[in-house]
Amino acid sequence: MTAVVFALLSAYLMWKSAELPVGWIPNKGPAGGAFPFWLSLAMLVCSGWIFVRALRGVTPESQSKDLFMDGPTVRLLAMAGGSLLAALILITFFGFYVAIPFLFVFWVRVVGKRSWATTSILAVSVPVVTFFFFEIGMRILLPKGITEPLFYPLYQAFL
């Protein structure tokens, strides 16, 4: 079943990426849809292979009669999906640099049960390094939501 879902997703991504050119642009390199298209095609081939192997019953998973997901697995999946959804909502309103520390605190401290020192180091250093890499070094702006005015002095100092 999962292979079928991924195959359908792959086909959709190939269709959407084909809205852009997927070939090679002379003297420029790959066109905008090239990488998404070819990666989706690879995912479609892999999904087909997984589906065929499952039908033939050659994998331990296809021979098993156990539940696909037990209670703890469903709980972990719900936590992952819920935390990512919460992060996306936070990014929309408050920006990347507010949402990511909250996501790190949840995953490192709450789920991973690591120390506050480790959690704090990661929750602060990852957004700072990300800011300097993307915004200053690569000049790729990440979403900031209502916190954008707080970044104006940093832009003036580093750009």
In this predicted model, what pLDDT tens digit does every residue of 43-76 receive, in sequence order? 999 999 999 998 998 888 778 888 878 899 999 9
Q: How far apart are CA 134 and CA 138, in angstroms?
A: 5
CB-based contacts of 29, cutoff 8 Å, min separation 6: none
Q: What percent of the chain has pLDDT over 90?
A: 75
Domain stop point among 41, 63, 85? 63
Shared domain check, 121 and 45: no
12-21 pLDDT, tens per residue?
A: 999 999 998 8
113-130 pLDDT, tens per residue?
A: 999 999 999 999 999 999
Q: How far apart are CA 71 and CA 81, in angstroms?
A: 15
Shared domain check, 150 and 75: yes
Closest CA to 145 of 93, 67, 79: 93
Shared domain check, 100 and 83: yes
Shared domain check, 30 and 78: no
Strands (E), 62-143: none
Domain range spanning residue 149?
71-158
Strands (E), the chain: 24-25, 29-30
Total tally of structural domains belonging to the chain = 2
CB-based contacts of 1, cutoff 8 Å, min separation 6: none
Contact, 115 vs 127, CB < 8 A? no
Q: How far apart are CA 45 and CA 56, in angstroms?
A: 17
Shared domain check, 96 and 19: no
In this prediction the pTM is 0.65
Shared domain check, 146 and 110: yes
Q: How far is CA 17 from the centre of its chain?
A: 18
Shared domain check, 85 and 54: no
